[in-house]
Structure 1
Amino acid sequence: MSFRDDTEDGRDLRKPFLHTGSWYKMGSRQSSMMSSSAQFLRDGSISVVFCVLVVALGPIQFGFTCGYSSPTQAGIVSDLKLSVSEFSIFGSLANVGAMVGAIASGQMAEYIGRKGSLMIAAIPNIIGWLAISFSKDSSFLFMGRLLEGFGVGVISYTVPVYIAEIAPQNMRGSLGSVNQLSVTIGIMLAYLLGLFVNWRVLAILGVLPCTLLIPGLFFIPESPRWLAKMGMTEEFEASLQVLRGFDTDITTEVNEIKVLNETDRSVASSGKRTTIRVADLKRRRYWFPLMIGIGLLVLQQLSGINGVLFYSSKIFESAGISSSNVATFGLGVVQVFATGVNTWLMDRAGRRLLLLVSSTGMTISLLLVSVAFYLEGIVSKDSYMYSIVGILSLVGLVALVISFSLGVGAIPWVIMSEILPVNIKGLAGSIATLLNWLTSWVVTMTANLLLTWSTGGTFTIYTMTSALIIAFVALWVPETRGRSLEEIQNSFR
């Protein structure tokens, strides 16, 4: 199949490749813009990478939201006269908003497409940052955080799904991990900029990623698998051709996607019914991949990583490190570097091996940190051992972030987007993302209070949870490297 050939009725397949959904109709201006971008996206790999870089602005926004509370805690508490509990509420409200966004994300992505969902998600993010920046009391602060969270909840589901659906199978792991790499870049930017600007200016800077995302979405194609599921055959083939390159024969891939879609329609319909309901998830081909996706995403949060990242400055202060904000930024740099290594390894080492190595490293690191903080309570502050304990906790935290970034950070989202069948992806993806954010909210809400209670005890709890990830991966998580989405989903039948 060649993209340069017109269809039998003379229509040019290049025209609809930027289709956002059935609600989106091209005008002459959009068609002109589309033609120029089509010229730019001639090569398939360049096209896919360009699309990933555009949607990666969403996870950068996600990371900036996560990292914002760490360098701004002292300033916000001082300026708005907040208590520790009120600031804990502020930190956790992003997760509450994300839960609402997660509930909406699956259905939104199904009805208006992956691009349309990202477009909508960007708007509350922008409004939320502006509300935080201009807040005079806790009410605007909390409202802004909720709006940010809603956008982040939609982004956290939609971006990995979009990347998985457009990427060639030999690049899907590496491109999928760009999602988590972008999150870490957003966290690092929040830490870095927080060293130089106050919390109000930092909130204004948080507007930038989504402000750039909105126009960028007009230059990338919609997910071909979503278009195929919606029955838009012409747009589906056009989108896939742009993503693979105009000179590439896409016949085999088109046929694989069409066959799986037809099979799913016939299995799901059960007569005349074509919609998927919660009751349908009792089938093994649905509940088993959903169980794996939920298990990985929930355990990822129960490891306590968001508690560490949200309140890293406070943890460093507890460890006796004077320049806690600088140390926090250093932690962000380490996280970006380690996630970059994961991006390189994903399609080489495989998902399963990286998850096992990552979760084992996290368990050892968390145990080291908990021991260090227990020792801190019994060692005199004037002794030589006190500084050694501080170094030990710092080494443990850095090792934790490296271990998390090598697998547990990125891979659960990649696997979730790979293993869920396309006809239940909206419903099942919403459930998995909702439970991820619910767990994140519990961890974020309790982390500050737990750290006040006992730093060593807090990290002991996280150590035990991290050990559960090792067992879960060893028992149930399949290897998905080098397999097409259709092969992976057929394996659950």
Structure 2
Amino acid sequence: MVALFIGIPVKEIAGWWRICFWVSTIPAGFLVVAMMFCAESPHWLFKQGRIAEAEAEFERLLGGSHVKYAMVELAKLDRGDDADTVKLSELFYGRHFRVVYIGSTLFALQQLSGINAVFYFSSSVFKSAGVPSDVANAFIGVANLSGSIIAMLLMDKLGRKMLLLWSFFGMAISMLVQVAAANTFVSGSASLYLSVGGMLM
């Protein structure tokens, strides 16, 4: 996102796209440094037999008063993992088929929704509306980031199913707006505004 906004003022510089790539390495560098201080997974430590280290990580994450309960729950979970072996055939029929089917269908619907075409032609649509392509890309980036932040804040409050249903509803409305913009009965500036609005949705 920062690279998108920096790309607007530096676009006149030769090799400006290299500047955007270099700017993107700054947060990546911060992430690399921060990962060194990130807690190790207690579950992974427990499965490796490093019980004391798992307890230490739980104490660091949850506090000393919750370590015993967390270790008991982890032991139950670990026993369940050992007992619940899944065969490859069960992914296509049997008890795990429903989960695989729902997950695969959601990914397929996401691709078939036409989002790739919207992103691919977004610069052309914004340019037709008189908006420079670099500003258009920044708008699209802001819309994506805003949607991700809203989903992150509401995920545990409303539940993933509710967010999924409303997001598909919003995608349907967005595509209807796009269709209305491409309709021959809508012309001129109204068509451009509908196209831009549909993309930002």
TM-score by length of 2: 0.81
Matches within 5 A, 1:333-412: 333-375=142-184, 385-399=187-201
Distance in 2 of aligned mates of 1:291 and 1:304: 21
* Residue equivalent to 1:249: 66
* Residue equivalent to 1:221: 39
Q: 1:255 Cα shift?
A: 1.5
Contact 2:125 / 2:196 at 8 angstroms: preserved in 1?
Answer: no
Q: 1:393 Cα shift?
A: 1.0
Instruction: Choose which of 18, 30, 46 in structure 2 pairs with 1:200.
Output: 18
1:403-424 CA distance string (max 9 Å, x none): xxxxxxxxxxxxxxxxxxxxxx
1:195-228 CA distance string (max 9 Å, x none): 1232122122222232222222110112222323
Q: Does 1:302 align with 2:116?
A: no
Contact 1:281 / 1:287 at 8 angstroms: preserved in 2?
Answer: yes
Q: 1:372 Cα shift?
A: 0.6
* Residue equivalent to 1:231: 49
1:326-350 CA distance string (max 9 Å, x none): 2331232233233322222212111
Change (3 A) 1:297 1:258: farther
Q: Secondary structure at the match of 2:66?
A: coil
* Residue equivalent to 1:189: 2
- The number of aligned residues is 196
Change (3 A) 1:309 1:225: farther
Instruction: Choose which of 37, 45, 58 in structure 2 pairs with 1:240.
Output: 58
Q: Secondary structure at the match of 2:129?
A: coil
* RMSD across aligned positions (CA): 2.6
Change (3 A) 1:254 1:368: same
Distance in 2 of aligned mates of 1:242 and 1:290: 36
Contact 1:229 / 1:261 at 8 angstroms: preserved in 2?
Answer: yes
Distance in 2 of aligned mates of 1:224 and 1:301: 36
* Residue equivalent to 2:133: 324
Q: Secondary structure at the match of 2:36?
A: helix
Letter in 1 for 2:118: V
Distance in 2 of aligned mates of 1:291 and 1:311: 31
Q: Secondary structure at the match of 2:183?
A: helix
Distance in 2 of aligned mates of 1:193 and 1:357: 33
Contact 1:308 / 1:315 at 8 angstroms: preserved in 2?
Answer: no
Distance in 2 of aligned mates of 1:241 and 1:291: 39
Structure 2 gaps of 5+ residues are 11-15
1:123-161 CA distance string (max 9 Å, x none): xxxxxxxxxxxxxxxxxxxxxxxxxxxxxxxxxxxxxxx
Matches within 5 A, 1:125-164: none
Q: Does 1:292 align with 2:110?
A: no
Distance in 1 of aligned mates of 2:33 and 2:111: 32
1:44-93 CA distance string (max 9 Å, x none): xxxxxxxxxxxxxxxxxxxxxxxxxxxxxxxxxxxxxxxxxxxxxxxxxx
Contact 2:46 / 2:54 at 8 angstroms: preserved in 1?
Answer: yes
Q: 1:390 Cα shift?
A: 0.5
Question: Which has the higher relative contact order, 1 or 2, with Cα contacts under 8 A spaced 6 or more apart?
Answer: 1
Residue identity over aligned pairs, in percent, reads 33
Select the structure of larger CA radius of gyration.
Answer: 2
Change (3 A) 1:363 1:211: same
Q: 1:281 Cα shift?
A: 3.8
